[in-house]
Amino acid sequence: MSGDGITTIAPDVLKSIARLSCLSIEGVSRMATSPILFGRFLKKSVQDGVEIDIEGDTVYVNLYVILKSNVNIREVSRNIQQQVYRAITDLVGMNVGKINVHVEDIDYDTNP
């Protein structure tokens, strides 16, 4: 059997990889649901906190997260970017253009 052929990766697979990688980072509470504007009039909701755009063999990722309280937001965001980058490049072999982390809220512990 020859090795000729192609492999395609569904965008939902990339979303799952990005979401699970993000949730594995210490300091991440959960993914957020955020509205994304398309054009001037249409809104689409990102249900799972992940937006993926693919241009050629390059993946662009927007992650919408809710972080735990008392964490260093910059450090957690950087860790998210590094982990998602590694997961996409190692597991899928695609190039990563940008990984944008949008901190939508902070979970404050109500217990003293």
Q: For residue 39, what pLDDT is reported?
A: 47
Sequence-distant (6+) residues with CB within 8 A of 109 are 69
Q: How confident is the model at residue 35 (pLDDT cuts 50, 70, 90)?
A: low
Entry pTM: 0.83
Q: Delineate the domains of the chain, giving CATH numbers in brackets.
A: 15-107 (3.30.70.1350)
Q: How many beta carbons lie within 10 A of that of residue 46, not counting itself?
A: 19
Q: Is the pLDDT of residue 62 over 60?
A: yes
